Structure 1
Amino acid sequence: MALSLFHMPISKLQGVGPQKAEELHALGISTVGALIEYYPFRYEDYRIRELSEAKDGEKITVQGTIASLPVVQRYGGKSRLSCRVTIGATLVTAVWFNRPFLKDQLVVGREITLTGKWDQRRKYMTVADSEFPDRGTLKTGTLQPVYSVGGNVTQTLIRKLIDKALTQYADSIPELLPDDLLRRHGLMSRAEAISIIHRPENTKAGQEARRRMVYEEFFLFQLRLQAYRALHTKKTDGIPHAVDNADIREFVDRLPFELTDSQKQVVNEILHDMKQPFAMNRLLQGDVGAGKTVVAAIGLYATIKAGHQGALMVPTEILAEQHVRSLSRIFEPYGMQVGLLTGSLSDRKRRDVIASLQMGLLDIVVGTHALIQEDVFFRSLGLVVTDEQHRFGVNQRSILRRKGLNPDVLSMTATPIPRTLAITVFGDLDVSTIRERPKGRKPIKTYSVKHDMMDRVLGFIRKEAQQGRQTFFICPLIEESEKLDVQNAIDLHAQLSQSLPELAVGLLHGRMTAAEKEATMGAFAAGDTDVLVSTTVIEVGVDVPNATLMIVMDADRFGLSQLHQLRGRVGRGEHQSYCILIADPKSENGQERMRAMTDTDDGFEISRRDLEIRGPGEFFGTKQSGMPEFRLASLIEDFDALELARDDAAQLTALPEFWSSAVYAGLREYLARDANSREEPLD
């Protein structure tokens, strides 16, 4: 879009005064360019069809002749207008609600076009729209765009304004894509595609126009990522870790378990990157309990042996404390020191940790957002690991990276997505995937039950406790809410303590102090507590191998990936584990999630279904991951176009002439504009 159109206030368009401009601003339309790119989300089909083609309950447009005098019935301030209409050889009853003013126009023998819902059994049509051919028509025979509107901005107004803007400025819409890409993929021009999207002549033209703009959206997104890779990776300004393979083999051999083939593969990929003179930027994804932490530990060991320090940033203090315990067990035999830095440390302890980092007395620091505060410095930061990377914003991760001189970065996530989609969406990252589970892990048996089965659930808890096993019991809330009729942790803790007097029932939630959480989790991990009632504070990373039962109250209130994360808290020991989801059977989306959870325990399949149910914006966490909200494109439906655009962008940015030739000047200007808008200059 020409910069001038995006700088041209919407008030410059004829018919848009100050008040209309303000109402359009509320929809995110402040310029003429933004109006032209305000695409419809669907179309109303006003093309005339034969009645015989219509399915029962379908919305259809038909043409006929009025066959009887109209009748108006009034009731409670509302009205029902009806008459008979002959459509082909069928006599149909046409009904309009609350439009008595049409009565005088319904003259026997007059032709009429009806659009409405067809009831096949009763030969009855509920009319949404009607027109008379003898007056000339506005909609009949067309596909009418439907826009997202609100306030005083109606469909009629937005259609009229877009039509006016296209008539006046269509010639000012420049082409962004190079001619060779247009020819290679058989794409129409940008101006033509935008015009057709707003005013499609037929379905085929609309599909071709959408194909063109979907490809462009993906291509421009990928161009940013690939340009970043071309300019910022493979530079010799990273830390080439001098890693001795014999040291690594010895370290791995002394681990208390054998690595899976999948773990070995990703370790090799990470160590290969760490040896290079450019900074690693790798995403490690794997299912819950797939063994990502031990892979990260091998990377941290490599950076320490090469004379540097490592940092592990995690989203919660509980998880940070757990990682410190597990990493200390691994590294202490080698004389390597692991420290903790969280917001709840006392000032004195915090000063000690920061000083130890600066002097190089600490080899590894594990922490929360406290790691990225201004006064935290390292002697020599060699590797940054972020756990559950989607929980941290792009800026937060880059601040930690700047604590060193281009350290290697390993981002981990237990929300796996198909590798091809991960490579495409996180285009600035290399992707490693752990597909196998650690040997000896048994699949978790998952059941979905109604609330009235609570007595049986309690019996199951007793049975597991008698065998020395423990139970997680998760609630969506900490305390009772007036707005939500769902179970809360405090009340449930009281109820279970009464219902299970022979068992020790603990309580864990986010409002407790760090010391209280530590004591509660410590008691549960030590086996002193049989049942732990908790909110989702335990969702990520908490490891209690003796816990075999995960019960989630009001499970329909949780997202699919979140339920899978919770399920992953059990099944970490040698015994069979179970997940029981207590859900409302009337919740349609909830039941869809319950079916997915009981059908499979494969995190990649779970995330695919989650992507379908929630959509990409919420799934990826648009604000967190830098994932854009595409106007037309769908990450699921248009995946082939996404891969195509990625390949094209990667090939183009690898060409020296892309950075110098006049042919690509428009795309370079786009990149410069985009970088400036995000305050991330590309040079």
Structure 2
Amino acid sequence: MSEATQSDLHRLPVRLVPGVGPQKAEHLAALGIGTVGDLLEYFPFRYEDYRLKPLEEARDGEKITVAASVFAEPTLQRYGRNKTRMTCRMLVDRVLITTVWFNRHFLRDRLTPGTDIVVTGKWDARRLQLTVSQAEFAGAQQSARSGTLQPVYSVGGEVTQGWLRKVILAALDRFGEQVAEVLPEELLGKHKLLSRKEAIRIVHRPQDGEEGRVQEGKRRMAYEELFYFQLKLLAYKQLVKQRTEGSAKQLDREKVRGFVRGLPFRLTSAQKQVIADILDDLESPHCMNRLLQGDVGSGKTVVAATALFAVVTAGYQGALMAPTEILAEQHARSLARLFEPYGLQIGLLTGSMTERQKREILSALQMGLIDIAIGTHALIQDNVYYRNLGLVVTDEQHRFGVQQRSILRRKGLAPDVLTMTATPIPRTLAITAFGDMDVSSLREMPKGRKPIQTFWVKKDKLERVWGFIRKEVDAGRQAYVICPLIEESEKLDVQNAIDLHAQLSVYFADQAVGLLHGRLPSDEKDRVMQLFHQGECAILVSTTVIEVGVDVPNATVMVIYDADRFGLSQLHQLRGRVGRGEHASTCILVADPKSESGRERMQAMTETTDGFEIARRDLEMRGPGDFFGTKQSGLPEFRFSDIVQDYELLEQAREDAASLVRSKMFWTDAAYAGLRDYLRREQIFQGDLLD
């Protein structure tokens, strides 16, 4: 059977399945099922266990299925309006039990002494009582329920569980033999995978004794899904390198080495390795597309600075885009200090600049008088032109949309691209969401950076927290106090920034207490942040607008109110706003979590300051769909697999896909024609570059 046959099942309308008329087809469409292939791949999310179980093995409160014999005629009670409760004594393995039936009075005449029956229900071990939910009489046409695992599907609308089971089994009977294999034989053998046909059959219709093989069927489909996704990413990455001719930049390596030697600090081994990889990329004829991830304070900025310096030595311009004006200005100041001895010209472009300032910067950019442009999304406006843009650096890349990043990329002639994030991404998520990019990680912290002590306190200890802040500000330090809300909410019992600012302004009447939140005008936000940065404001009450990139070395205290309302990675980002200077720093989480997950997050924060470990735990707790907080391009919703639970399978799938894509046989041998057809259908061989 050819691979095309499998795709044919996705072209056959679901109306061809016995029992599915036009109206039922519409109901299935609401579940995302439009074809026979869709129906066969609509997997159950759990199973009802109808295997017979001895009473001595049954746990109290467990749902069990037993074979019984009616011992005495049932007793019927009526209550309420048209409601009944029927009890019937039965023998199960020589044990006399009571079965309870609600609103099943129509079965009374069939429950005669000596009648054999299979019943399923909730077991009460103390009372020897079974509350019946399902029953099958011996001799009647059975639904193949007793003695098997019964699949449970996600249903809704007009689609019922029983009808969907029946229709899926009908589709298996009619079209099951047409399910074709889509994986190469070598991979099936290597990983001991079931055939596609067998996997789909077992998942929907496990027979007696096949219960253990259900997981094998699911594993096979999960591997297939992960393999195909990785194949698409890696084939795309390979083809992009072949067809995207960038500019092989003639770097002055000696000048770059001089720049590194002149830095006021020594680079870590991790920084040196990443810089070496980036320089190789810049000198390559293919466009660099690299993600640089590193914990707060791991030194990503100096890596970016070295890359920008390097492209300038080759006669190109560089651009660095930051998500906020505060962060853009901060980058401009720090890079200006680093580049001043070498005569590089820095240009800052933000939305709040005057029209005259903007015109001067735009003119200098276009004429090539500015070597490195730093700014917000103002860098990507239509009227911004570069003379020779060679490198695009995007800081905190997850804060920009795909379109914004790609517009900046198109400002040059196939410039190299470096994106940075201070939100470490677990490997499983990195190779899924950013599989078409090269990923570099800075896991080594620079020497001399003091660890941040983290404490979790309940709200009844707030006086001690304010006392600790008093001690720090009296010593000349500064403190952040973070709230989840701006104003009071009737629905949420959490502290808000405006009220807390008022309270702390009274408590610390001798100190300047600032307020920062997202509803303030941009110029007011900048003014407040500038005051805090200059040390004229001792305590800053803020919402999470403070999260990204702000650098105030004198701030030594971070208090996060209602900390259980934040995700782990966000808490870690907020914690990273302190510990940036010479003094020891402290993060205090104020929370009375009511949920187990809230307590787990507080515990995790006090146990580690490693951003990669925090990210791993965050992924486990929240799942990949919520990890970034916003929907990311390239992060699919998998149907059969879970990249957290199936991380080993994901690693295997990636290795297999990478091995195939690198081989010449994959692109020419008839054995892989089906996989190449898949890539054609996914339009890997043409179209715009993915971001």
The TM tier, using the shorter chain, reads over 0.9
Structure 1 position 679, deviation (Å): 5.5
Q: How many Å separate the matches in 2 of 1:37 and 1:477?
A: 43
TM-superposition CA deviations, 1:487-513 (whole Å, max 9, x none): 222222122212322221111111222
Q: Residue in 2 aligned with 1:59?
A: 63
CA 228–677 in structure 1, closer or farther in 2 if over 3 Å, else same: closer
Tell me if structure 2 keeps the 8 A contact 1:392–1:624. no
Match of 2:386 in 1: 378
Aligned to 2:177: 171
Distance verdict in 2 for CA 1:101–1:564, change over 3 Å:
farther
2:632 alignment partner, SS class: helix
The structural deviation recorded for 1:121 is 4.0
Aligned match of 1:468:
476
1:130-149, aligned counterparts within 5 Å?
130-138=135-143, 139-149=145-155
Q: CA deviation at 1:568?
A: 1.0
Identity %: 61
Give, in angstroms, the shift of residue 527 of structure 1: 1.2
Match of 2:198 in 1: 192
Q: Which residue of 2 aligns with 1:113?
A: 118
Is contact 2:62–2:123 with CA below 8 Å preserved after alignment?
yes
Work out the CA distance in 2 between the residues paired with 1:444 and 1:73.
68
Question: In the superposition, relative to structure 1, how do residues 155 and 430 fare at CA in structure 2: closer, same or farther (>3 Å)?
Answer: same
State the Cα deviation string for residues 264-307 of structure 1 (Å, max 9, x = none). Answer: 22222222222222222222111122111111111111111211
Match of residue 44 from structure 2: 40
Seen in structure 2, the aligned counterparts of structure 1 residues 442 and 558 have a Cα distance that, compared at 3 Å, is same
Residue among 27, 34, 39 paired with 1:30: 34
> What's the CA shift for 1:343?
4.2
Partner of 1:157: 163
Instruction: State yes or no: 1:315 paired with 2:323.
Output: yes
Question: In 1, distance between residues paired with 2:677 and 2:460?
Answer: 63
Deviation, 1:18, is 4.2
Q: In the superposition, relative to structure 1, how do residues 165 and 575 fare at CA in structure 2: closer, same or farther (>3 Å)?
A: same
Q: Distance in 2 between matches of 1:388 and 1:50?
A: 59
State the shift of 1:52 in Å.
Answer: 2.3
| Equivalent AA in structure 1 for residue 451 of structure 2 | P
SS in 2 for 1:216: helix
Q: Which segments of 5 or more consecutive residues in structure 1 lack a partner in the other structure?
A: none
Is 2:530 aligned against 1:522?
A: yes
* TM-score, structure 2 as length reference: 0.92
Alignment partner for residue 582 of structure 1, among 590, 593, 616?
590
SS at match of 1:453: helix
* Corresponding pairs, count: 682
Shift in CA distance, 537/487, structure 1 to aligned 2, threshold 3 Å: same
Q: In the alignment, is the contact (CA less than 8 A) between 1:196 and 1:205 conserved in 2?
A: yes
CA displacement at 1:20 relative to structure 2:
3.0
AA paired with 1:38? Answer: Y
CA shift, 1:621, in A, is 6.0
- Tell me, which stretches of 5 or more residues in structure 2 are unaligned? none
How many angstroms apart in 1 are the aligned matches of 2:432 and 2:654? 7
2:683 counterpart SS class: helix
SS of equivalent residue, structure 1 residue 203 = coil
Residue 8 of structure 1 corresponds to which residue in structure 2? 12
Comparing 590-599 with 383-392, which one deviates more in the overlay? 383-392
RMSD over aligned Cα atoms: 2.6
Q: Distance in 1 between matches of 2:686 and 2:404?
A: 15
How many angstroms apart in 1 are the aligned matches of 2:263 and 2:645? 44
Asked if 2 retains the 8 angstrom alpha-carbon contact of 1:304 and 1:310, the reply is: yes
In 2, the alpha carbon distance for the partners of 1:545 and 1:17 equals: 69
Deviates more, 1:600-609 or 1:159-168: 159-168
CA distance in 2, matches of 1:102, 1:63: 17
**Letter paired with 2:396:** E
**CA, structure 1 residues 121+568, in 2 after alignment: closer, same or farther (shift >3 Å)?**
farther
Contact kept? 1:390, 1:621, Cα under 8 Å? no
The one of 227, 251, 254 equivalent to 1:219 is 227
Q: Any idea what the Cα deviations from partners look like across 1:459-518, whole Å, max 9, x if unmatched?
A: 222122112221111111222233333222222212221232222111111122221111
Please state if 1:129 is matched with 2:137. no
CA distance, structure 2, for counterparts of residue 48 and residue 655 of structure 1? 52
**Residues 390 and 625 of structure 1 are in contact (CA less than 8 Å); yes or no, is this contact kept in structure 2?**
no
Amino acid at match of 2:454: T
| Mapping for residues 322-361 of structure 1, pairs under 5 Å | 322-361=330-369
1:317–1:14 CA distance, 2 compared to 1 (3 A): farther
2:439 is equivalent to residue 431 of structure 1: yes
CA contact (8 A) 2:434 2:634 kept: no
Q: Contact conserved, 1:49 with 1:60, CA < 8 A, in 2?
A: yes
The secondary structure found in structure 2 opposite 1:668 is helix
**1:238-287 deviation digits (Å, cap 9, x = unpaired):** 22232333322322233232222222222222222222222222221111
User: Relative to structure 1, is the Cα distance of residues 110 and 236 closer, same or farther in structure 2, using a 3 angstrom cutoff?
Assistant: closer
8 Å CA contact retained: 1:620, 1:627: no
* Distance in 2 (alpha carbons) for counterparts of 1:430 and 1:645: 17
- Quick one: which amino acid aligns to residue 576 of structure 1? A
1:28 counterpart letter in structure 2: G
**Structure 2 CA distance for partners of 1:54 and 1:352, relative to 1, 3 Å:** farther
**Secondary structure of the corresponding residue to residue 186 of structure 1:** coil
Letter in 1 for 2:56: S
Show CA shifts across 1:162-182 (max 9, x none). 222222222333322123322
Shift of 1:670: 0.9
Aligned to 1:624, what secondary structure does the other structure show? coil
1:640 correspondence with 2:655? no
**Matched position secondary structure for 2:26:** helix
**Are residues 1:411 and 2:411 paired?**
no
Q: Which sits farther off after the overlay, 77-86 or 641-650? A: 77-86
Distance 1:80 1:558 in 2: 49
Query: CA distance change for structure 1 residues 322 and 72 in 2, over 3 Å: closer, same or farther?
Result: farther
1:620: Cα distance to partner? 4.9
Residues 10 and 36, structure 2, Cα contact 8 Å, conserved in 1: yes
Please give the per-residue CA displacement for 1:541-585, whole angstroms capped at 9, x wherever unaligned: 111111111111221211111111111111112222111222233
Q: Are residues 287 and 71 of structure 1, via their aligned partners in 2, closer, same or farther at CA, if it must alter by over 3 Å?
A: farther
Matched-pair contact (CA < 8 Å) for 1:621–1:627: no
Secondary structure of the 1:145 match is: strand
Cα contact 2:88–2:99 (8 A) shared by 1: yes
Contact in 2 for aligned 1:308/1:363 (Cα 8 Å) = yes
Determine the C-alpha separation between the residues in 1 that align with 2:482 and 2:87.
56
Partner of 1:541: 549
Cα separation, 2, equivalents of 1:385 and 1:250: 22
1:535: Cα distance to partner? 1.1
Instruction: Describe the shift of the 1:391–1:41 C-alpha distance in structure 2 as closer, same or farther (beyond 3 A).
Output: farther
Mapped to 2, the partners of 1:375 and 1:32 lie a distance apart of: 52
Change (3 A) 1:75 1:587: farther
Structure 1 residues 503 and 328: alpha-carbon distance in aligned structure 2, compared to 1, 3 A threshold = same
Q: Does the 8 Å CA contact 2:320/2:394 hold for their aligned counterparts?
A: yes
**How far did 1:308 drift?**
0.9
* Aligned residues of 1:622 and 1:628 also touching (Cα < 8 A): no
Q: Which amino acid aligns with 2:289?
A: N
Deviation at 1:200, TM superposition (A): 2.1
Asked whether 1:400 is paired with 2:408, we answer yes
Change (3 A) 1:120 1:318: farther
- For 1:152 and 1:408, the matched residues in 2 are separated by 53
2:12 maps to amino acid: M
Give the match's secondary structure for 1:117.
strand
Quick one: distance in 2 between partners of 1:502 and 1:121?
68
CA offsets, 1:609-658, max 9 Å, x none? 11111112222568314111111112122222211111111121222232
Which residue of structure 1 aligns with residue 397 of structure 2? 389
Distance (whole Å) between structure 1 residues aligned to residue 573 and residue 545 of structure 2: 11
* CA distance in structure 1 between the aligned counterparts of 2:343 and 2:643, rounded to whole angstroms: 48
TM superposition shift of 1:344: 4.3
Q: Is 1:86 aligned to residue 91 of structure 2?
A: yes
Please give the alpha-carbon distance, in whole angstroms, between the structure 2 residues aligned to 1:437 and 1:88.
67
Distance 1:376 1:250 in 2: 32
Q: Which residue type is aligned with residue 621 of structure 2?
A: I
Q: Distance in 2 between matches of 1:51 and 1:563?
A: 50
